[in-house]
Structure 1
């Protein structure tokens, strides 16, 4: 029973992170500067997690930075670059 509960917890956590990562990519691509800032703020106390979050790639290999750059969202791109340098 404990193994099943642990498996469910790990699965739910993984699904939650997937949607969170997609949220950053979507917000960056769509030019939602405030939302990108809010999403990055969640990781301000964990530099390793922040870098992993910012560098997450969707199934096509796109990161939030790529999405922002393709749509000429300069402020968002700069914010993401700064987050990667932390």
Structure 2
């Protein structure tokens, strides 16, 4: 496959416009504490978005929000 065949057509170019995170409280552990699942939403200027999950709860959602300034304006 050539480089030109790998490139997206310009009409499919999108830019990341933001990141949102949400914590979902899971079932309690043996010690009574609840595990937090992190949900991350990456939004684009075309109205499309991607959803992902994290396994480190609060900490990884914080990292996702700190990465926002690095990825806004990028083409996913």
TM-score after normalising by structure 2 = 0.27
Greater Rg over alpha carbons, structure: 2
Higher-strand-fraction structure = 2
